[in-house]
Amino acid sequence: MPELPEAETISRQIRDFVSGKKIISTSVNRDRAVRSNNSAMQFIKEVTDSTILTSSRRGKSILLPLDNDKTIIVRLGMSGSLYLKENNETNSADKHTHVIFKLENGDELHFVDPRTFGEIIVENGHNTENFETFKGYGYEPLHESFNSSTLHKLCKNKKSSIEALLMDQKNVVGIGKIYSDESLFLSEIDPRRPAESITKKEADKLTDAIKEVLSNSIESHGTSGKDGAYRDAFGNHGTFATKLNVYQRDGKNCNRCGATIEFVPFQGRRMHFCPKCQK
DNA sequence: AATGGGGCCTGAGAGC
DNA sequence: TGCTCTCAGGCCCCAT
């Protein structure tokens, strides 16, 4: 499940390969992959023959600003990725390769997404604050503007669980199941607790935990879970799965106290946590 | 306004 | 072995 670290990893990996390169052709194999654009034809027209300036990230999306004052936004959904196919590689597009950008030097950028929750959108301009796609988006958790005071304020009067709050992109962007479970473990907070019950002290710990978990995962090129679905731009697995404490570790022993990690349903989702460490 | 729940979608894994 | 069923998850939309 690509979240912030996975999107950041891919964005960094492709940067040198796409910066300053012109898209000489675009093919869409599955219209659903560009469903928010008027049509696949319109999408192709808007991006082809323009030059990619660089690659960056907002939340769980990868951004490719173009020299025609438009920006390609790649939302990875839950199984999406961007693969870099270098010039000398044979065309290895499979049935889940929905969009292919061919660059002027022969390299290709493939949007692959088996579960098709992801999509590619084109927005006008380069300023993410003006993008309809990101309307209502919250703090970038690795930015200095996200600190314990901002988190504590977000929690105020919120009846829903702290895990639901962290996963809602309107509060903080880029955090999904993996990193909310892991951050709450590190800060010793029960994910089911109402957000409003989080004290300032706990907000301090949780903020540090979020930044630490995300940064460490970026260093490991992200998390490839049990199904191994996630792969980076070079087709490799991320290695953060070996450092997980609770996510997909239900039934195993807690690395800290030895208790059995639980995976229990709560308000329409299931949460991994240590019943002894997390209060 | 805030919150909860259903649906989209496919592949992996469980159960028979 | 091979079929069917359930589940995972981000994110949108709708009901309350």
pLDDT over 70, % of chain A: 98
Active site residue A3: yes
- Phi/psi region, residue A134 (left: phi>0; alpha: psi -120 to 50; beta: rest), is alpha
Tokens representing A147 are 């600190």
Strand C close to A178 by CB, under 7 A: yes
Average pLDDT, chain A: 93
Output the CA torsion sign for A28, A33, A39, A44: negative
- SS3 assignment, position A238: coil
Active site residue A2: yes
Which helix (H) or strand (E) segment is A74 a member of? strand A70-75
- SS3 assignment, position A190: coil
User: A3, A46, A163, A202: which is the annotated catalytic residue?
Assistant: A3
pLDDT in tens, A112-170: 999 999 999 999 999 999 999 999 999 999 999 999 999 999 999 999 999 999 999 99
Distance in angstroms, CA of A192 to C1' of B10?
29
User: A57, A60, A75, A231: which is the annotated catalytic residue?
Assistant: A60
Higher-scoring residue by pLDDT: A103, A228: A103
Strand C close to A248 by CB, under 7 A: yes
Q: What is the pLDDT of residue A78?
A: 87
Q: Which residues touch strand B (CB under 7 A)?
A: A 32, 95-96, 114-117, 157-161, 164, 226-227, 267-268
Nucleotides of C under 7 A from a protein CB: 7-12
pLDDT in tens, A22-38: 999 999 999 999 999 98
Active site residue A191: no
- Residue A90 confidence (pLDDT) above 60: no
Q: How confident is the model at residue A16 (pLDDT cuts 50, 70, 90)?
A: very high
pLDDT in tens, A173-230: 999 999 999 999 999 999 999 999 999 999 999 999 999 999 999 999 999 887 778 9
Nucleotides of B under 7 A from a protein CB: 2-6, 8-13
Q: How confident is the model at residue A93 (pLDDT cuts 50, 70, 90)?
A: low
Domain boundaries along the sequence of chain A: 4-134, 148-273
* Residue positions counted in chain A: 279
Nucleotide with minimal C1' distance from the CA of A268 is: B5
Distance in angstroms, CA of A189 to C1' of C16?
30
Q: What is the pLDDT of residue A86?
A: 85
Class of domain A4-134: alpha beta
Query: A47 φ, ψ to 5°?
Result: -110, -25
Active site residue A65: no
Distance in angstroms, CA of A226 to C1' of B13?
11
Strand C close to A120 by CB, under 7 A: no
Q: What is the pLDDT of residue A212?
A: 97
Between CA A65 and CA A74 the distance in angstroms is 11
Higher-scoring residue by pLDDT: A93, A138: A138
Residue A80: what residue type? G
Distance in angstroms, CA of A144 to C1' of C7?
37
Angle, helices A148-155/A200-219, rounded to nearest 10 degrees: 120
pTM of the predicted model, to two decimals?
A: 0.95
Mean pLDDT, to the nearest integer, of A109-113? 95
Between CA A218 and CA A212 the distance in angstroms is 10
Angle, helices A200-219/A4-18, rounded to nearest 10 degrees: 40
- Residue A231 confidence (pLDDT) above 60: yes
Q: Which residue is nearest to nucleotide C10 (CA to C1')?
A: A77
DSSP state of A240: G
> From the DSSP assignment, how many helices (H) and strands (E) are in chain A?
6, 11
Q: What is the pLDDT of residue A88?
A: 62
Does the domain spanning A148-273 belong to CATH 3.40.190.10? no
Q: What is the pLDDT of residue A92?
A: 63
The two domains A4-134 and A148-273 share their CATH topology (first three levels equal): no
